[in-house]
Amino acid sequence: MSEYKTINDLGDLNGKVAMLRADLNVPMDENFHVTNTARIDRTVPTIKTLMDKGAKVVVISHFGRPEGKGDMKNSLSHVAPELEKALGKHVVFVDDCIGPKVEEAVKNMKGDEVLLLENLRFYNEEKKGDEAFAAELVKPADVYVSDAFSTAHRAHASMVAAAKLKPAAFGLLMEEEVNALSKGLNNPQRPLMAVVGGSKVSTKLDLLNNLVKKVDKLVISGGMAHTFMKASGIDTVNEANSLVQMDMLDTAKEIMATAKANNCDIVLPLDVVVSKEFKADAEHKTVSLDEIPAEGWILMDVGDKTIASINGKLDECKTLVWNGPLGVFELKPFDNATNKVAAHAAELTQAGRMMSVAGGGDTVSALENAGVADKFSYISTAGGAFLEWMEGKELPGVVVLKK
């Protein structure tokens, strides 16, 4: 982890004002009650560590996609009570994130209080990466700490410009996340397997092109597998029974050729589960690839032969990176393959035989659904940033904190 600045690199923090860029963009119901506190909970250790070092902590974050100032449904005031509950400390909310009101509140801070400032995205300058806005933002702070990996792929003012204006470092969550992802993809123990699912090949092109050069085994699943199946000569797959993208067949062939040249073993379905309707508990059956009905049935999941094949290959691997479910996991029983492969990966992880990293919104939901989210080595709550990392792209909010 030595290539990045961490809290320990900030020196003596006693009496200093530490501005913490967190990600408190949590889901809420229509009554403004937080429905999942994971992102709040994950930044608490950083806040406590800074407070233990004597720092006064000022938390900043984005929330939702507000249309300029005063959009109260996107106010962080709704998050303050949950942050207070998670921390066990008094949280003072300030209804702005720059200006005299903030400076006054910082000046009046008591030792055991935490300040939470209003939504950064109430100012358009945040998304533009505006340097003058960043300067206003960090004006009351002595040091800057970044804990928002989920927005590290965006060069927003609070992520990049702000980090250049004060002594700056990773928070514990950011450090943990970058560490885990480096172990997963940049410096993995081999053999390394990636599971990539999703409905369309077109949305995961950069990802697939990067992975076939880095991983030893690549499981292509979900709707995007249909295009690869068709490209590899499975003629029973068509536009009536699957999500095949006919205009992506040549691209799929190119990706398979690149994989072959890089000794990457692409793992495709050996059998599939087809259903009469796209709904839970619809009439369904498992068929071999040459038995896929031309119409009247839809590909929903992979069958037991495929599950056994993937699990057998998992047994040979030391590292797993997972993004995307194997089937339509939202509709039972078409979560079967995802659940069984996830359970096997969790078992290998718990036995110390594998390091497993998973990320992306659907993936986290799928692993929670399978009941194994806490049994993987690391689960990333970042969506876009996790994907861009897997695509091999440099993330501005990470690079800025290199030593």
In CATH, what number does 7-173 get? 3.40.50.1260
Across the strands, what pairs with 133?
none
Closest by CA position to 14, among listed 53, 66, 69: 53
CA atoms of 288 and 283, how far apart (whole Å): 17
In CATH, what number does 180-390 get? 3.40.50.1260
Predicted model pTM:
0.84
pLDDT at residue 131, as a whole number: 97
In the residue annotation, 360 being an active-site residue is answered as no
Question: Is-same-fold flag (7-173; 180-390)?
Answer: yes
Query: What is the CB neighbour count within 10 angstroms for residue 135?
Result: 16
- Residue 298, helix vs strand vs coil: strand
With vertex at residue 75, the alpha carbon angle to CA 70 and CA 77, rounded to the nearest 5 degrees, is 125
With vertex at residue 140, the alpha carbon angle to CA 154 and CA 110, rounded to the nearest 5 degrees, is 115
88: left (phi over 0), alpha (psi -120 to 50) or beta: left
CA atoms of 403 and 384, how far apart (whole Å): 24
CA atoms of 393 and 384, how far apart (whole Å): 11
Query: What is the CB neighbour count within 10 angstroms for residue 109?
Result: 16
- Residue 275, helix vs strand vs coil: strand
CB 268 within 8 A of CB 252: no
CA atoms of 271 and 336, how far apart (whole Å): 13
Q: Which of 39, 42, 56, 375 is catalytic?
A: 39
List, in order, residues 6 or more apart from 199 with CB less than 8 Å away.
222, 223, 224, 243
Q: Would you give per-residue pLDDT tens digits along the chain (403 residues)?
A: 468 999 999 999 999 999 999 999 998 888 898 988 889 999 999 999 999 999 999 999 999 888 767 778 899 999 999 999 999 999 999 999 999 999 999 999 988 899 999 999 999 999 999 999 999 999 999 999 999 999 999 999 999 999 999 999 999 999 999 988 888 888 889 999 999 998 888 888 899 999 999 999 999 999 999 999 999 999 999 999 999 999 999 999 999 999 999 999 999 999 999 999 999 999 999 999 999 999 999 999 999 999 999 999 999 999 999 999 999 999 999 999 999 999 999 999 999 999 999 998 788 889 998 999 999 999 987 888 888 888 888 999 999 999 9
In the residue annotation, 361 being an active-site residue is answered as yes
Q: Which of 99, 312, 361, 371 is catalytic?
A: 361
CA atoms of 360 and 383, how far apart (whole Å): 4
Beta strands in 65-126 (DSSP E): 90-94, 113-117
- Residue 383, helix vs strand vs coil: coil
Strand order in the sheet with 271-275: 284-288, 271-275, 298-302
pLDDT at residue 118, as a whole number: 96
CB 229 within 8 A of CB 267: no
DSSP letters, 110-142, are -TTEEEEE--GGGSHHHHHT-HHHHHHHHTT-S
List, in order, residues 6 or more apart from 259 with CB less than 8 Å away.
212, 218, 265, 266
CB 337 within 8 A of CB 328: no
Q: Is the dihedral of CA 238, 242, 248, 252 positive or negative?
A: negative
Q: Which of 48, 183, 200, 318 is catalytic?
A: 200
Q: Give the total residue count for the chain.
A: 403
- Residue 105, helix vs strand vs coil: helix
CB 227 within 8 A of CB 245: yes
Determine phi and psi for 203, rounding to 5 degrees: -85, -10
Q: Which of 64, 383, 384, 392 is catalytic?
A: 384
CA atoms of 321 and 21, how far apart (whole Å): 27
In the residue annotation, 402 being an active-site residue is answered as no
List Cα–Cα distances, 141 to 79, 325, 347, 370, in angstroms.
Answer: 22, 43, 45, 43
Largest CA distance in the chain: 73
In the residue annotation, 353 being an active-site residue is answered as no
Q: Domain spans of the chain?
A: 7-173, 180-390
